[in-house]
Amino acid sequence: SSLFAAIDMAPRDPILGITEAFNADTNPGKINLGVGVYYDDNGKVPLLACVQKAEAKLMEQQSPRTYLPIEGLAAYDKAVQELVFGAGSPILQEKRAVTVQALGGTGALKIGADFLKRFSPNAEVFISDPSWENHRALFESAGFVVNNYTYYDPATHGVNFEGMLESLKAMPQGSIVVLHACCHNPTGADLTQEQWGKVIEVVTANELVPFLDMAYQGFGAGIAEDGAVVRRFAEAGGPLLISNSFSKSFSLYGERVGALSVVASNAEEAARLLSQLKRVVRTNYSNPPTHGGKVVATVLSTPELRQLWEDELAGMRVRIKEMRDALVKKLADKAPGRDFEFVREQVGMFSYSGLTKEQVGKLRAESIYAVDTGRICVAALNSKNIDRVVDAVAKVL
């Protein structure tokens, strides 16, 4: 016990801390905008109909729970590739992409990080300023030095694109750049297609290693539209890693369904990469769980279920946009002279609202919970709670 006696308490996760405070709040009108989860208009995490139907089908089959292959279910990996790269992609025809099923987007990032550390041990990692709060810790825990690149501009509530390009140009050759493919978390500020073109030019010219994190495919402009950036990077020809997650797009948070895809220069190189990725998986958790992967593979490969999923995902995307519109309109009414138009421009589940830490503190006194940075989850707003949120925000401004 002397070994354990000297161990300090680890710092609390800032977002889980909000949820704990929210759960302890006895006000029946409490609202949690601090979460990273999609809620429907009734304030519930949806169980998608496509998932229910796929599960009913799987229950009928009563299949034994053998181990999956180290790289996961073959049908799942194939479906992921077609979703991420597009079904007719030359990358797939040339067998240049390899995909391993992973424990959510987080698991995919960790496999990618451990893999990169083996073969590029001296590279440094660059993440956006700010970024998803786990990016830094995750790459540091894989042994990397992690730096920021310029990204968000609080003055415009958008991207400081000139600053971002300067950062990219200054990175040493071989640096690993973590880029949010769409729906930037936490800011909601995405690059335009033209800006992506410039980023790809600099990444290619400076021989940087792009790692695209795509946790929200389908929540921006659409499944194919959001995935377009992956195809553009893949066509640029350099090494490329992509982590993707179905936590949000299938509302399967707890099933831990994601994948890591890596693009090689040719099929022979791809086979070598896959063998090494399998080693990383094998020494971490051996092989992924069956249920979530089977559900997603069933939905994606059964035409009616696939259509149902696309419709349900579009429903989530549209509802978030409606909440953005409503927030902007209602705030214009209640807080005239304040411009919240930028909330409409931001994309995905989140908005950097511009609320200060002090204002977030005042909201909390009204039982409305947001992140100290001012990040709010737009997907936690609904037709029943938005007026209370707007009134409270107008009061603290």
Q: Which long-range contacts (CB under 8 A, 24 or more apart) does 301-306 make?
A: 301/75, 301/79, 302/54, 302/57, 305/50, 305/53, 305/54, 306/50
Known catalytic residue at 30: no
- With CB under 6 A as the contact rule, the residue among 185, 217, 249, 251 that binds ligand PMP is 185
Query: Least CB distance from residue 223 to ligand PMP, whole Å?
Result: 17
| CA atoms in the 13 A half-sphere facing the CB of 358 | 3
Q: What number of chain residues touch ligand PMP (CB under 6 A)?
A: 12
User: What is the rounded distance in angstroms from the CA atom of residue 382 to the CA atom of residue 390?
Assistant: 12
- With CB under 6 A as the contact rule, the residue among 34, 104, 130, 158 that binds ligand PMP is 104
User: What is the rounded distance in angstroms from the CA atom of residue 239 to the CA atom of residue 206?
Assistant: 12
Query: Least CB distance from residue 106 to ligand PMP, whole Å?
Result: 3
Binding mask 221-260 for ligand PMP (x = CB under 6 A): ------------------------x-x----------x--
Concatenated DSSP letters of 136-183:
HHHHHHTT--EEEEE-EETTTTEE-HHHHHHHHHHSPTT-EEEEESSS
Query: Least CB distance from residue 129 to ligand PMP, whole Å?
Result: 14
Instruction: Look up tokens 């790692």; give the residue.
Output: 211
132 sits near ligand PMP (criterion: CB under 6 A): yes
User: What is the rounded distance in angstroms from the CA atom of residue 20 to the CA atom of residue 379?
Assistant: 19
- With CB under 6 A as the contact rule, the residue among 136, 157, 180, 324 that binds ligand PMP is 180
User: What is the rounded distance in angstroms from the CA atom of residue 330 to the CA atom of residue 247?
Assistant: 31
Burial class (CB in 10 A: 0-12, 13-18, 19+), 131: buried
- With CB under 6 A as the contact rule, the residue among 106, 187, 298, 382 that binds ligand PMP is 106
Strand pairing class (240-245; 258-263): antiparallel
Binding mask 187-216 for ligand PMP (x = CB under 6 A): --------------------------x-x-
Of 77, 110, 117, 132, the catalytic one is 132
Known catalytic residue at 40: no
- With CB under 6 A as the contact rule, the residue among 34, 72, 86, 105 that binds ligand PMP is 105
Of 53, 110, 117, 248, the catalytic one is 248
Q: 379: which DSSP letter?
A: G
Q: 106 vs 359, which CB is nearer to ligand PMP?
A: 106
Q: 32 vs 359, which CB is nearer to ligand PMP?
A: 32
Q: 3-class DSSP state for residue 368?
A: strand
Task: Take residue 142 and report the two structure tokens written for it.
Answer: 């894989």
Binding mask 26-45 for ligand PMP (x = CB under 6 A): ----------x---------
Known catalytic residue at 213: yes
Instruction: Report the interface residues with ligand PMP, using CB under 6 A.
Output: 36, 104-106, 132, 180, 185, 213, 215, 245, 247, 258
Q: Which residues belong to the active site?
A: 132, 213, 248
